[in-house]
Amino acid sequence: MLIKILGIIHLPLLQYSPRFYWLFLQFGRWIVFLFAQLQVKGLTQVPNTGPRIVVSNHQNNLDVVVLTIALPLQMRYMAKSELFLIPFWRQIMAWFGAFSIERGKGDIEAMKHAEDLLLEGNTLVMFPEGTRSRTGRMGRFHRGTAVLALRSGATIIPCGVSLTDKVKTPFHLVTRPPLALNVGAPITVMRENPNNENVASLTEEIAKAVEQLLPREYRRKNTDAKSVKA
């Protein structure tokens, strides 16, 4: 009810706030420490300079929290436009460093903003499946991540998040469920103009890298099939 009331009030859209990000980071760490058992592997492989794209499978909204508190990076986020419909949430998302993208519509403005952030040396989090998996298994990857990486020369940091799909409601956190994050070897990308061939090739390389970080039951049903969406 409070959220609905606040949603009626017009609030100015503020910019990214490092202070708010820091507060969210500390709050998230305490929540996960108290209500989950998070195992993280591969952090030593995370590059600490240059533009980077953190790429992960997507099972649960909790994935964002896991990536944010576990990776030693200050990151920016693409988020579905529906999350920005309520002014209150739009302001919170902006403070957090998220920006809106219209899924499935070729949002050129959002892609340009993402490219600009990368060229400034920022780190961007992307879920190339475009939505949460309904089965827990990794789905097909959209090509947008590869396009941004090629245009900016950003290093890809593949991540595999597992067991968050078991957290169906916040009440499941009472049992302190296990969660896992595996970080893979970074993929160096040379800056060049994207075309159908290099975009498809890089997208599949990214998908395979993420898939190898997941338990077998979370991998694609047919790993021989191409996992690329236009």
Contact between 213 and 41 under an 8 Å Cβ cutoff? The reply is no
User: Token pair of 12, please?
Assistant: 């100015």
Residue type, 22: W
The mean per-residue pLDDT over the stretch 178-195 comes to 97
pLDDT band at 186, cuts 50/70/90?
very high
What's the gap between Cα 137 and its chain centre?
A: 16
Percent of the chain scored above 70 by pLDDT?
Answer: 89
Q: Which residue, among 87, 84, 89, has the nearest Cα to 100 in the 3D structure?
A: 84
pLDDT at 199 over 90: yes
| Alpha-carbon torsion angle 124, 129, 131, 134, nearest 10 | -140
Structural domains in the chain, sorted by start:
36-215 (3.40.1130.10)
Helix (H, G, I), strand (E, B) or coil at 61: coil
**22-32 pLDDT, tens per residue?**
999 999 999 99
Averaged pLDDT score across all residues of the chain: 88
Question: Angle, to 10 degrees, between the axis of helix 18-35 and the axis of helix 62-70?
Answer: 100
Q: Label the pairing between strands 123-126 and 52-56.
A: parallel
What's the gap between Cα 138 and its chain centre?
A: 14
Q: What's the pLDDT score for residue 101?
A: 86
Burial 157-177 (b: 16+ CB within 10 A, else e): bbbbbbbbbebeeeeebeeeb
Helix (H, G, I), strand (E, B) or coil at 183: strand
Higher pLDDT, 148 or 103: 148
- Which distant-in-sequence residues (6+ apart) come within 8 Å of 122 by Cβ? 51, 75, 76
Higher pLDDT, 9 or 124: 124
pLDDT at 138 over 60: yes
The mean per-residue pLDDT over the stretch 146-170 comes to 95
DSSP state of 223: T
Helix (H, G, I), strand (E, B) or coil at 9: coil
pLDDT band at 148, cuts 50/70/90?
very high
pLDDT at 94 over 70: yes
DSSP H/E element including 39? strand 37-41
Written in H, E and C, the secondary structure of 96-131 is HCEEEECCCCCCHHHHHHHHHHHHCCCEEEECCCCC
Percent of the chain scored above 90 by pLDDT?
Answer: 65
**61-91 pLDDT, tens per residue?**
999 999 999 999 999 998 888 888 887 888 8
pLDDT at 40 over 80: yes
CA 164 – CA 180 distance, rounded (Å): 8
pLDDT at 224 over 60: no
